[in-house]
């Protein structure tokens, strides 16, 4: 098997053909482009999960990234899905902007060594994202200026198959650095979302945890019908996945950051990207709403291949 680019990995042998796009050139030679989403190289973490924790053990979620402005201002989370692409929420980013992506991070105030910083060379917001409730298609892809090497601290989440389902029996966790959601203020956003962001800030200010370190929380998936009944007609789309009950715990996840759920093969799937929730975040009865990544698998693959 021949690889076009220099960043083929030793473990490529384990890939199945789904991870390759076979392209032909004028000579008729076949080349294999490294995977688009590496279904066999994803979703592993060396940290065993303990229910009830709040600060995550360092690097428990090695796909978790921090989105920052060029002045190191953290404003959203995201998830690594292969060696050069990150999934986040569309409401976090603008296509005209360049962002810093910090991978391998845990404590944002301490340089541990595994942190890697990349800048974005492409920001792709979903074409049909609308910045007003219910924020449909709240997903974006970020291309890093250089691929990253996978390590114990930097590793992609699995992108779920289109028909993968996650239920309240699934073990799911949210994670994020929750203290900095207000940084979107200097970026062009609509007032409704701004209010949502402010509500997150208020909640997080009441949190006594150390918000410079990655926080995590075990959380239950709520089925879409129940979630829709709680929110009211039209709010919950089949491209959403709901978690929790809308109280303070569900605010732990940064916007754009991962909802990680344990898959059948015990690897962690990127079930969702944090999208929106109840203003104030403390009103029980209103689950938090995430972008359901399984519904965007094809969109993700198509845009990575084209870019």
Tell the smallest beta-carbon distance from residue 55 to Ca ion (Å): 14
Rounded to whole angstroms, the Cα distance separating 246 from 234 reads 18
Rounded to whole angstroms, the Cα distance separating 134 from 72 reads 30
Tell the smallest beta-carbon distance from residue 157 to Ca ion (Å): 20
Tell the smallest beta-carbon distance from residue 216 to Ca ion (Å): 16
Nearer to Ca ion, 115 or 220 (CB): 115
- Rounded (5°) CA angle 88-92-97: 105
Nearer to Ca ion, 63 or 296 (CB): 63
- Rounded (5°) CA angle 81-218-84: 10
- Whether residue 54 lies in the annotated active site: no
Residue where the block lists tokens 């930097």: 154
Rounded to whole angstroms, the Cα distance separating 132 from 91 reads 10
Tell the smallest beta-carbon distance from residue 65 to Ca ion (Å): 12
Residues 59, 106, 138, 179: which is the catalytic one?
138
- Whether residue 128 lies in the annotated active site: no
Residues 56, 66, 79, 255: which is the catalytic one?
255
Total residues binding Ca ion (CB under 5 A): 1
Nearer to Ca ion, 91 or 108 (CB): 108
Tell the smallest beta-carbon distance from residue 116 to Ca ion (Å): 11
Nearer to Ca ion, 40 or 107 (CB): 107
Tell the smallest beta-carbon distance from residue 54 to Ca ion (Å): 18
Rounded to whole angstroms, the Cα distance separating 292 from 166 reads 10
Q: CB 295: neighbour CB atoms within 10 A?
A: 18
> What tokens does 121 get?
């060379």
Rounded to whole angstroms, the Cα distance separating 107 from 59 reads 10
Nearer to Ca ion, 12 or 107 (CB): 107
Q: Is 52 helix (H, G, I), strand (E, B) or coil?
A: coil
Q: Is 216 helix (H, G, I), strand (E, B) or coil?
A: strand
In the DSSP assignment, the letter for residue 224 is: H
Residue where the block lists tokens 């929730």: 277
Rounded to whole angstroms, the Cα distance separating 229 from 72 reads 40
With contact defined as beta carbons under 8 Å apart, do 148 and 85 qualify? no
Q: Are strands 21-24 and 85-88 parallel, antiparallel or unpaired?
A: unpaired
Residues 56, 59, 74, 91: which is the catalytic one?
91
48 to 107, contacts with Ca ion by CB under 5 A?
A: 107
Q: Is 243 helix (H, G, I), strand (E, B) or coil?
A: strand
Tell the smallest beta-carbon distance from residue 108 to Ca ion (Å): 6
Nearer to Ca ion, 212 or 267 (CB): 212
198 to 257, contacts with Ca ion by CB under 5 A?
A: none
With contact defined as beta carbons under 8 Å apart, do 257 and 172 qualify? no
Nearer to Ca ion, 27 or 109 (CB): 109
> What tokens does 196 get?
């949502």
- Whether residue 130 lies in the annotated active site: no
Residue where the block lists tokens 């410079």: 212
Which residues in this chain contact Ca ion in the complex, by CB under 5 A?
107
Which of the residues are catalytic?
91, 138, 255
């Amino acid at each position: 098997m021949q690889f076009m680019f220099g960043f083929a990995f030793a473990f490529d042998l384990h890939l199945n053909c789904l991870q390759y796009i076979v392209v032909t050139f004028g000579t008729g030679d076949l080349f294999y482009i490294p995977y688009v989403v590496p279904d066999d190289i994803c979703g592993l973490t060396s940290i065993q999960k303990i229910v009830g924790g709040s600060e995550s053990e360092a690097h428990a979620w090695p796909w978790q990234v921090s989105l920052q402005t060029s002045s190191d201002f953290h404003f959203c989370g995201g998830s690594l899905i292969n060696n050069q692409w990150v999934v986040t929420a569309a409401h976090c980013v603008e296509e005209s902007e360049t962002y810093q992506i910090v991978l391998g991070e845990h404590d944002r105030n301490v340089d541990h060594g595994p942190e890697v910083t990349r800048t974005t060379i492409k920001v792709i917001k979903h074409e049909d994202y609308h910045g007003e409730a219910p924020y449909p298609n709240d997903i974006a892809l970020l291309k890093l200026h250089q691929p990253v090497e996978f390590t114990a601290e930097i590793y992609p989440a699995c992108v779920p198959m289109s028909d993968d389902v996650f239920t309240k029996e699934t073990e799911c966790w949210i994670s994020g650095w929750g203290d900095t959601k207000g940084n979107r203020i200097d970026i062009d956003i609509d007032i409704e979302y701004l209010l949502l962001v402010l509500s997150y800030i208020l909640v997080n200010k009441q949190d006594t945890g150390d918000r410079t370190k990655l926080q995590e929380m075990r959380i239950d998936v709520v089925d879409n019908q129940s979630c829709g009944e709680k929110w009211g007609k039209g709010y919950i789309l089949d491209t959403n996945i709901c978690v929790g009950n809308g109280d303070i715990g569900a605010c732990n996840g940064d916007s754009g950051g991962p909802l990680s759920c344990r898959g059948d093969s015990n690897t962690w799937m990127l079930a969702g990207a944090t999208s929106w929730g109840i203003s104030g975040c403390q009103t029980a009865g209103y689950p938090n709403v995430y972008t359901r990544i399984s519904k965007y698998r094809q969109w993700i693959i198509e845009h990575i291949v084209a870019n």
